[in-house]
């Protein structure tokens, strides 16, 4: 802080980012270490909308209605999303055990904390950093859901 002109900015309700205009050597070392571990790179890596559109097309090929499209996207999520993984919900760490379709034809995650289990719509699920393998399918589903 001090001479480094460091700032902390709350980007959204989940993340606070720090940046320094003139970082000292110690701060630069921390940044390089986080880059090597993938923390900053994972945040910087964004999936292009054209790639998401390709995933959506792949999942919904030969679908005749919205229900079939949800089924196609669910199948791709089930095949590609690496579960279990941990994330935070309302400040508590939970384990995402699996994904499922509920009676309302919504894609949900089955989350566990201790003995408690709860189904959370995948559209509302905050993703951890680093993101689990296959998280681009969640991004694709979110893009698809915005367009319906």
SS3 per residue for 102-144: CCCCCEEEEEEECCEEEEEEHHHCCCCCCCCCCCHHHHHHHHH
Instruction: Tell me the mean pLDDT per 10 residues along the chain, length 148.
Output: 40 41 46 42 61 93 92 95 94 95 94 95 94 95 89
Structure confidence at residue 46 (pLDDT): 65
pLDDT for residue 26? 52
pLDDT for residue 148 = 64
The pLDDT assigned to 147 comes to 84
> pTM here?
0.67
Whether the Cβ atoms of residue 119 and residue 102 lie closer than 8 Å to each other: yes
- Distance CA(112)–CA(146), nearest Å, equals 28
């Amino acid at each position: 802080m001090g001479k480094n002109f460091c700032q902390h900015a709350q980007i959204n309700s989940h993340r606070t980012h720090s940046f320094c205009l003139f970082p000292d050597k110690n701060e630069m070392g921390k940044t390089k270490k986080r880059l090597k571990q993938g923390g900053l790179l994972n945040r910087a890596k964004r999936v292009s909308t054209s790639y998401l559109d390709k995933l959506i097309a792949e999942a919904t090929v030969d679908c005749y209605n919205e229900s079939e499209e949800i089924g196609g996207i669910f199948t791709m999520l089930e095949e590609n999303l690496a579960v279990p993984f941990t994330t935070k919900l309302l400040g508590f760490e939970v384990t995402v055990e699996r994904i499922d379709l509920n009676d309302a034809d919504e894609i949900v995650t089955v989350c566990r904390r201790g003995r408690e289990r709860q189904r959370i719509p995948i559209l509302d699920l905050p993703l951890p950093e680093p993101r689990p393998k296959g998280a681009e399918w969640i991004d694709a589903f979110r893009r698809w859901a915005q367009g319906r």
